[in-house]
Structure formats: structure tokens, C-alpha cells
Amino acid sequence: MELKCKIQNYEWGKKGKQSKVATLYKNVNEEFTINENTPYAELWMGTHVNAPSEVKKTGETLASYISNHPDSLGKEVAESFNNELPFLFKVLSVNKALSIQAHPSKEHAEELHSKYPDIYRDPNHKPELAIALTPFEALCGFRPVSEIRTFVKNIPELGKIVSCSDVCDDVEFLKKAFRAVLTCDKQIIVETMSSLLKKFKDLDKRKREKYMADLVERLHSQFPNDSGILMVYFLNYLNLCPSEGIYLGANEPHAYLSGDCIENMACSDNVVRAGLTPKLVDVDTLCCMLNYKGERPEDKIFKPIQEDDHTRLYKPPVKDFAVAQINVPSSLGQYRSIKRKSASILIVIEGQAKFTTGELKPGTSLFLAANEELEISEVNENLLIYQAFANIF
């Protein structure tokens, strides 16, 4: 069944035709007009109440259809997730940094929701998988602690804030240093940023790269004098190529900075923020929950496995979701998708083809019941499709 999905216009989104979210949506909704001054941040595909997808032919919400046809989810999915679709599938177009954040584990989410229901509005966890559609920038996980210590040692402005450089234990050092930045007096952050920005103007290209001057300046232009800017010296800075992914499990600090991506996640809105945001920063909760493990940036890339000649599977360590990337060359002409034990949602990113009851083109989104195949024919342009489903095999 073809779906009609919804757009979210968050202010960090890309504007107008620069947004892949907008162009994909426009391609399958001719009545839609793209406004070049409007940010188009997210395209939601799923049953979430904030932007529920509809069956295009009937106008019925997908949630209602699943409620009336729970067998479409697949037996194991229906039993495991109380007859509900367990994931929310998205396309993101990021122009401005999203907040530095982490998501609680399932148990912690239940605890936070019980104590602070107005802030943490549901009891579910929120693991996420992001796959780049264009060059994509992100901060993800703590850097190797030796790198962080080097920044603290060589950047006097940072060293004044982080007064624990003599702590030998890496985890203890990381905890104290991270908290010191987030709890630093606002005026000290203002003075720190002023000094850093002035110093960067006199550095040569090599030293600017060493101290990440371009990124610090950009984040300061977006969130002036925010303590989260200094997190670039704590977190891995990743430049993802198209098809490269990152998996963000519980307690993993991260932030998307720019680019377009596919995202799949558990159905939740539980976010604990650390900076680069005007929203609530819950320092105590965040500092208690984080995974204080330093890793190399290359270790943060989440690699897919090859399922068949045309399908690569991104399979995270949670039951809620997985994502398949399907590439069908025009030379093949036709293709039959792999059967899944779970209901799935597909979106076409590139290419032209036919399926049993209609046309596939960029922006086409389909709901496929469990144990069904998508029969693709007349592939006249190379197809790139992403398919989301529960991680039950």
C-alpha cells in the first residue's frame, strides 16, 4: 500500500529545494509547493501520533489499518510489541546542528518517565540508526581519552575550565572534565569563546584544522557562547559518505551537524540534552547515564552485511528495527525483495520502476505486510530504496 507521509518543519532543517525531505515529498505530492524560506527538516513514515502516515488510497491512518489488521505486522512482531509498529522511519535534512544529546536505556526511560512525565513523556528507549544519503557530519561517542587530554593540555582556555588534567584514571577524568564544561559559569564560557575565536584568526591552516577552528566558529555562529561548542574536543567528529551509517545506542552522546540521512529509531521521544540547544539541559541525568568509553572515529561507523547481490542489511543490536538498502540497476530490469517476518516501510530515494499496483519514483513510500515481497519491474533508472522493519529474523 502506498503511504502519504508528513513533514516536520523544525528550524534546523534545510530550506526550500536544498532539502531532500522537501524534494522527495514534492515528487509524490504535486499539489505541494516548496517555499524557499521554509525549513523542511524531517519526513516521518510510521504510526507516531505526532505525524501519522496515511494509506494514500483510502486516507485511513496506518495505525488504524494495523490495529484492524494486526496480522500484517507478523506474528512475532505483534507479540513482542503489543500489536504496534515498533519503529519510526525518517528522512532528515540537516542545515544547523541538532542538540548534543543521548538517549536512556529502556529501564532508565521507564524510571525517568515515572519521575518526570512532563519532561520524559514515554517509558520507551530510543536507539537510532542513521545512514547518510549525502555527505553527512556528526559528533558521535567520546574520542580516545588521550586525544581529549591533549586538547585540554594544549588549549589553555579549555584547561582553565577542566581542572582535572592530573586525574590518572581515564573514566574519572572524562566524567569530571565533561561535567566541568557543562556546569561552567556562563561568563567564563563567553570569555573562553572570545579568546578562542580571536586566537583562531591568527592560526595557519594546519593549526586551524588541528584545533577544529572551522567547526567551532560555525557552531558559535549557530549557538553563540553555548558550552556545547566545546564538546567538539570531547566527541568524535565524523564525515560520513553516502551509505555509511552510525548506530546510536543507549547512553551514547551524539549530535547531527549537517547533511541528509535516513534514520530509523524506536518509537520514543526521550532525549537528554547536553548543549547546542535552547531547550532543557539535564546535566545531572546526562552525566550519570553516559557511556564514558573513548573510541576511535572509525570504530563508530556501523557496517552493513550483504544479504543478496542487491541488498545490504544494517542490523543493530535491538529488536525494534533494522534497515535494508536495496540497489537495483536498470540493467537488471526486475527484482523481488527479500521476504521479512516483519511488516516494513520502504521509501524510494533514487530511480524509476513499476511495482504490482503502481509506480516507484523518488519519494514513493510503501507499507509491506509481513512475509510479503515487493515485485519490481521495468527498472529504467537505477533504484535506491531503503526498507525499515523490526529486527526479528
Which residues are known to be catalytic?
273
* 255 and 219 inside one domain: no
Helix 186-200 to helix 213-222 angle (10° resolution) is 130
Looking up residue 380, the CATH number of its domain turns out to be 2.60.120.10
* 164 and 272 inside one domain: no
pLDDT of residue 277: 87
Could you tell me if residue 99 is inside a domain? yes
* 176 and 52 inside one domain: no
Structural domain count of the chain: 3
Element spanning 387, H or E: strand 375-389
* 226 and 348 inside one domain: no
* 347 and 221 inside one domain: no
Could you tell me if residue 130 is inside a domain? yes
pLDDT of residue 158: 96
Alpha-helix residue ranges (DSSP H) falling in 223-345: 283-289
* 131 and 68 inside one domain: yes
* 38 and 134 inside one domain: yes
Indicate the pTM of the whole model: 0.95
Torsion of CA 225, 166, 254, 299, to 10 degrees: 140
What is the chain's pLDDT, residue by residue, as a tens digit (393 residues)?
999 999 999 999 999 999 999 999 999 999 999 999 999 999 999 999 899 999 999 999 999 999 999 999 999 999 999 999 999 999 999 999 999 999 988 888 888 888 888 888 788 888 999 999 999 999 999 999 999 999 999 999 999 999 876 777 999 999 999 999 999 999 999 999 999 999 999 999 999 999 999 999 999 999 999 999 999 999 999 999 999 999 999 999 999 999 999 999 998 878 888 888 888 888 888 888 999 999 999 999 999 999 999 999 999 999 999 999 999 999 988 899 999 999 999 999 999 999 988 999 999 999 999 999 999 999 988 999 999 999 997
Could you tell me if residue 283 is inside a domain? no
Could you tell me if residue 78 is inside a domain? no
* 252 and 182 inside one domain: no
* 47 and 131 inside one domain: yes
Helix (H, G, I), strand (E, B) or coil at 236: strand
Cα–Cα distances (Å) from 173 to 44, 159, 212, in that order, read 40, 13, 22
* 219 and 243 inside one domain: no
pLDDT of residue 181: 95
* 263 and 315 inside one domain: no
Could you tell me if residue 134 is inside a domain? yes
User: Residue 338's domain spans which residues?
Assistant: 305-389
User: Per this entry, what is the length of the chain?
Assistant: 393
pLDDT of residue 119: 82
* 12 and 106 inside one domain: yes
Distance between CA atoms of residues 256 and 245, nearest Å: 12
Could you tell me if residue 194 is inside a domain? yes
User: By C-alpha distance, which of 379, 373, 136, 8 is closest to 387?
Assistant: 373
What does DSSP assign to residue 297? G
